[in-house]
Chain A
Amino acid sequence: MMDKMIFGRYVPAESPMHRLDPRAKLLMVFIFVFIIFLANNIATYVVIGAFTLLILNMSKIPAGFLIGGLRPVFYLILFTFFLHLFFTKEGDLLFKWNFIEVYENGLRQGIFISLRFAFLILITSILTLTTTPISITDGLETLFNPLKKWKLPVHELALMMSISLRFIPTLMEETDKIMKAQAARGTEFSTGPIKNRIKAIVPLLIPLFVSSFKRAEELATAMESRGYRGGEGRTKYRLLKWESKDTILLAAIMVLTVLLLLLRS
């Protein structure tokens, strides 16, 4: 069931995207999330679409896998599309059937917003697909380091994040295990009436909570017994190295920003 899930998952491979510094990728995604809102006509969407495709191509993630993984979001995109299609009442009337009216702007908006959605999800997925959770947190910690001046517990936040990322696969595995154990005792998770399926969540969630609490306690003990005292004076095993290709990525996103500003109407 979760075999095809791609969110938060890392696919080990050798690709230009994999080799980039996590800080560069994080900044790129951060800027991308903002500038995607600059796109508002065909030219700008073509430019930003080309950029997205370029990044996807550079990541060497099989397209079939990406598309398969996006299936759950696909319905959300479809829903957004129809929402805009039916409820934007501007421009020329294109189509009318009973109470359904489709206007030109509605169609445009629908397509644009769906594309925006898809691009955003693809670019953010590429970040997690090509960067190990550890590098993402390392990158975030360094990027947020200046905020320490304002007493923001940057190291602790990064630690919390890396711990939760680290335990996502463990939790998934355990979910799978307990689901199977309860299915063997006659629980049906994917068939039968909705009411029963909702009820089936209890025998799954309770054991998961119990074991998560237990694991958290064990982890805390293990960390303490290995002398963990927090981030003060702690050195790093993996050092991040900023190279020229990272600067090129940032330059590329800057160029994209300028292009969007010039082309937008």
Chain B
Amino acid sequence: MQINLTNVEHKYQKDTPFERLALREVNIDIPSGTYLAIIGHTGSGKSTLLQHLNGLLKPTKGSVHIGEYTLAAGKKEKNLRAIRKKVGIVFQFPEHQLFEETVLKDICFGPMNFGVSEKEAIMLAKESLHKVGLSEDILDKSPFDLSGGQMRRVAIAGVLAMKPEVLVLDEPTAGLDPGGRKEIMDLFYDIHKETKISTILVTHSMEDAASYADEIVIMHKGTVYETGSPREIFSQSDQLVSLGLDVPNTVRMQLMIEQQCGRKLDQICLTMDELSEQIESLLKRGVPK
């Protein structure tokens, strides 16, 4: 499903002494099936932006087109539910939204809200539980008896069970250990590849943005600073640093190597494999003394 944001502006607490401009003149096009990463400093408007993607917030100016639906400033959209069924959001610390007596009931909550029958919801629940790498024997447990990592996975399963056409992820790995982090990110990537759903990832991790995204948007002071492919974005390391961001570890390593031996590698390396290949070919050609 395609999403377009046109001149979106959002003011929090409009017309009160607390009014605050969070977004201005945001223009983003997200074609169907894209894996988009949104990066930016804390307070750059990332979270506000993603809440516009399923009508949790409405623009105070401009418009958001989600598939056939439009959310525009000052207009009432009646099909919010339909939009929310198609756009699933995994919020930061999604385990905070668990509330049911059993894991099964909690995962079924979303699908059943959107009118899926109980029998079908249970099937969806089991399917998404497998996707997040948990076994069926926790289905009857209380979600509050699980470990932090398991709770996170159950919460994610609850969103996946809604079968969204667009998956929005707000720092889904915050507070997880490195192992769990990679597992969760790989899981979202696999789902993205398998089902071709658009995935929008808000992240602080340059590594994740570099290794998974097709397209990166840099948010700065409430507006889009730059859009480009990971290679384009991460080849401008000075600019990223000036925005309070960073380059992925592989790029940093590459820059150090390039500085040491005074030679440029053929391309910006976004993954460990790419970097080792480049180093290998550099060594084969011989490092100048």
Cα of A55 to Cα of B94 in the assembled complex, Å: 46
Contact partner, B97, options A4, A182, A186, Cβ 8 Å: A182
Q: Do residues B96 and A185 form an inter-chain contact, with CB atoms below 8 A?
A: no
Cα of A25 to Cα of B193 in the assembled complex, Å: 63
Cα of A32 to Cα of B145 in the assembled complex, Å: 52
Q: Do residues A184 and B84 form an inter-chain contact, with CB atoms below 8 A?
A: yes
* A91-99, A104-112, A173-181: which lies at the interface: A173-181
Please name all residues of chain B whose beta carbon is closer than 8 Å to the beta carbon of A174 when the two chains form the complex: 96
* Nearest A-chain residue to B92, judged by Cβ: A177
Those of B100-140 within 8 Å (CB) of chain A = 100, 109-110, 113-114
Q: Do residues B96 and A186 form an inter-chain contact, with CB atoms below 8 A?
A: no
For residue A230, CB closer than 8 A to chain B, the reply is no
Cα of A174 to Cα of B91 in the assembled complex, Å: 12
Q: Do residues B51 and A11 form an inter-chain contact, with CB atoms below 8 A?
A: no
Range, interface on chain B: 20 to 34
Cα of A210 to Cα of B89 in the assembled complex, Å: 22
* A15-23, A62-70, A78-86, A135-143: which lies at the interface: A62-70
Q: Beyond A181-B96, A207-B98, A210-B144, is A186–B91 a contact (Cβ under 8 Å)?
A: no
For residue A57, CB closer than 8 A to chain B, the reply is no
For residue A3, CB closer than 8 A to chain B, the reply is yes
Q: Do residues A184 and B91 form an inter-chain contact, with CB atoms below 8 A?
A: yes
Contact partner, B99, options A4, A177, A183, A206, Cβ 8 Å: A206
Q: Do residues B97 and A11 form an inter-chain contact, with CB atoms below 8 A?
A: no
Question: Shortest distance in angstroms between B60's beta carbon and chain A's nearest beta carbon?
Answer: 12
* Nearest A-chain residue to B57, judged by Cβ: A180
Cα of A176 to Cα of B81 in the assembled complex, Å: 18
Please name all residues of chain B whose beta carbon is closer than 8 Å to the beta carbon of A170 when the two chains form the complex: none
Question: Shortest distance in angstroms between B108's beta carbon and chain A's nearest beta carbon?
Answer: 11
Please name all residues of chain B whose beta carbon is closer than 8 Å to the beta carbon of A211 when the two chains form the complex: 96
Q: Do residues A181 and B17 form an inter-chain contact, with CB atoms below 8 A?
A: no
Cα of A202 to Cα of B105 in the assembled complex, Å: 13
Q: Do residues A180 and B17 form an inter-chain contact, with CB atoms below 8 A?
A: no
Q: Do residues A183 and B16 form an inter-chain contact, with CB atoms below 8 A?
A: no
Cα of A3 to Cα of B162 in the assembled complex, Å: 30
Q: Tell me the dominant secondary structure on chain A's binding face.
A: helix
For residue B56, CB closer than 8 A to chain A, the reply is yes
Cα of A181 to Cα of B84 in the assembled complex, Å: 11
Among B15, B87, B88, B158, find the residue whose CB has the most chain A CB atoms closer than 10 A.
B15
Question: Shortest distance in angstroms between B58's beta carbon and chain A's nearest beta carbon?
Answer: 13
* Nearest A-chain residue to B164, judged by Cβ: A184
For residue B260, CB closer than 8 A to chain A, the reply is no
For residue A231, CB closer than 8 A to chain B, the reply is no
Those of B181-199 within 8 Å (CB) of chain A = none
Q: Do residues A183 and B17 form an inter-chain contact, with CB atoms below 8 A?
A: no
Question: Shortest distance in angstroms between A15's beta carbon and chain B's nearest beta carbon?
Answer: 12
For residue B153, CB closer than 8 A to chain A, the reply is no
Q: Beyond A64-B15, A185-B159, A186-B162, is A180–B99 a contact (Cβ under 8 Å)?
A: no
For residue B147, CB closer than 8 A to chain A, the reply is no
Cα of A178 to Cα of B87 in the assembled complex, Å: 17
Q: Do residues A186 and B114 form an inter-chain contact, with CB atoms below 8 A?
A: yes
For residue B54, CB closer than 8 A to chain A, the reply is yes
For residue B85, CB closer than 8 A to chain A, the reply is yes
Contact partner, B84, options A61, A183, A202, Cβ 8 Å: A183
Q: Do residues B99 and A184 form an inter-chain contact, with CB atoms below 8 A?
A: no
Q: Beyond A180-B91, A207-B99, is A62–B17 a contact (Cβ under 8 Å)?
A: yes
Among B84, B159, B162, find the residue whose CB has the most chain A CB atoms closer than 10 A.
B84
Cα of A68 to Cα of B17 in the assembled complex, Å: 12
- Ordered by A's residue number, 18 sampled pairs between the chains whose C-beta atoms are within 8 Å are A3-B12, A178-B97, A180-B51, A180-B91, A183-B56, A183-B84, A184-B54, A184-B56, A184-B88, A184-B91, A184-B159, A185-B109, A185-B113, A186-B113, A187-B113, A203-B97, A203-B100, A207-B99
Chain A positions within 8 Å of B, measured between CB atoms, are: 3-4, 11, 13, 61-62, 64-65, 68, 174, 177-178, 180-188, 202-203, 206-207, 210-211
Complex A-B, nearest 10 residue pairs according to Cβ-Cβ distance, in ascending order: A186-B113, A206-B99, A185-B110, A181-B97, A184-B89, A3-B13, A203-B99, A180-B56, A186-B114, A181-B91
